[in-house]
Amino acid sequence: MCSLKGSLLTLAILTLISFTYLSFKSLRSSPPPPSISASSVSLLPATETATKTVVVEVGDGENDEISDLYHSSRVFKLNYEEMEQNFKIYIYPDGDPNTFYQTPRKLTGKYASEGFFFQNIRESRFRTLDPDQAHLFFIPISCHKMRGKGTSYENMTVIVKNYVESLIAKYPYWNRTLGADHFFVTCHDVGVRATEGVPFLIKNAIRVVCSPSYDVGFIPHKDVALPQVLQPFALPAGGNDVENRTTLGFWAGHRNSRIRVILAREWGNDTELDISNNRINRATGHLVYQKRFYETKFCICPGGSQVNSARIADSIHYGCIPVILSNFYDLPFNDILNWQKFSVILKEQDVYRLKQILKEIPDEQFVSLHKNLVKVQKHFQWNSPPIKNDAFHMVMYDLWLRHHVIKY
């Protein structure tokens, strides 16, 4: 019996030693787990239609040339393609088109962006007549049109409130998300005031506005900054013409804000900065104001009564590097485009050092900014019908990035 027990104990010890040896040998011979580098990971917002991870190699023609103009050209390309294929918008059909609904007031002037969007959305592939297919719902009320018909601010607020409440009562879509998948568009600053009587519209819906100021309730991750574009442009776009730009800086306009008053006071008599105390009178000559953009390296863009200014889009169109001089401003397409690559962004307090800052920018940096500026011109141009990568499609892309909401 003792001999049998001893044999079993010996066998158990030998078996344990054998398993231990084999385990160590297996660990030493196994290949190490693959390492993960930042460059091998594609970060894309989750989408309802995504079913697999898509890996795209950067290095295809146009993307190489313009990649530094975007925060991520790869993400922009993938999301843009998916947006074009899948994005659907339902436009509420309610409201009398002869009053403030459905149709734009006009497609000209500094508030033309609102009119172009109203027209473009109807012409585009994104519109659907089936609300069950829609990712977002467009509330087509034009505050600019109200203003054009002489509607008072008080009446605007009542009209907007009654209209939105009627949509909520008639359709089930608002209550599914408490309005998080709804949006409205307004370029005129009265549009911001006209919606103040509907707090749940401001807090929940996506606001596509030309006055994207942080200090008046603009929420960057929810709302969209609409570019204020003065169309049609009086003259062709500026191009590769840096040798013709001999003036350091230019601004002319109404002194309807504190920063503009300081700008005119500090630099109005400077010999290198062309700063006017008022708008250039048309009697001075034909298109004198617009021609100044062709002659200038840096065009100063101080905020007016609001943080925004149509002068920014003018500067981009005419090839003059925009110098953003406005606090609390969420620049159009700021989450897509890298504005540092084609503009100069300053704080309002920098106005006192404006000339020094501009003169310290090296020539090679100016040339680079100018080349990049020409590349982004297409993003700040409205077309009818809309075309790929224009202002309308950039706004739609921003909306696409915001359409993933929780269904309550």
Domain spans of the chain? 73-228+385-402, 242-380
CA distance 251 to 267: 10
Give every CB contact of residue 271 below 8 A, 6+ residues apart in sequence. none
Contact 112, 374 (CB under 8 A): no
- Name the band, by pLDDT with cuts 50, 70 and 90, for residue 21: very low
Q: Is the pLDDT of residue 286 over 60?
A: yes
User: Between 198 and 346, where is the model more confident?
Assistant: 346
Would you identify the CATH topology of the domain 242-380?
Answer: Rossmann fold (3.40.50)
pLDDT of amino acid 215: 60
CA distance 269 to 251: 12
pLDDT of amino acid 8: 44
Q: Taking residues 105-131, what's their average pLDDT?
A: 89
Model confidence over 179-223: pLDDT tens digits?
999 999 988 766 667 787 888 898 899 999 887 776 667 888 899
pTM of the model: 0.81
The least confident of 22-36, 241-255, 384-398 is 22-36
Please tell me whether residue 282 adopts helix, strand or coil conformation: helix
- Residue tagged 């385990």 (tokens): 23
pLDDT of amino acid 6: 52
Q: Is the pLDDT of residue 44 over 60?
A: no
User: Between 257 and 313, where is the model more confident?
Assistant: 313
The least confident of 21-35, 54-68, 105-119 is 21-35
- Name the band, by pLDDT with cuts 50, 70 and 90, for residue 110: confident
Q: Is the pLDDT of residue 65 over 60?
A: no
pLDDT of amino acid 45: 36
- pLDDT above 70 coverage of the chain, percent: 78
Give every CB contact of residue 24 below 8 A, 6+ residues apart in sequence. none
pLDDT of amino acid 313: 93
- Name the band, by pLDDT with cuts 50, 70 and 90, for residue 251: very high
- Residue tagged 């660990």 (tokens): 27
Look over the chain and give the mean of its residue pLDDT values, rounded to a whole number: 81
Please tell me whether residue 147 adopts helix, strand or coil conformation: helix
pLDDT of amino acid 190: 66
- Residue tagged 């009654």 (tokens): 162
Q: Is the pLDDT of residue 63 over 90?
A: no
Please tell me whether residue 34 adopts helix, strand or coil conformation: coil
Give 63's Cβ-side CA count (13 Å radius): 13
Residue 163's H or E segment, with its range, is helix 153-170
- Name the band, by pLDDT with cuts 50, 70 and 90, for residue 26: very low
Q: Taking residues 143-170, what's their average pLDDT?
A: 87
Q: Taking residues 85-114, what's their average pLDDT?
A: 85
- Residue tagged 């929780």 (tokens): 406
Q: Taking residues 110-122, what's their average pLDDT?
A: 90
Q: Is the pLDDT of residue 327 over 90?
A: no
Angle, vertex CA 333, rays to CA 330 and CA 337, nearest 5: 110
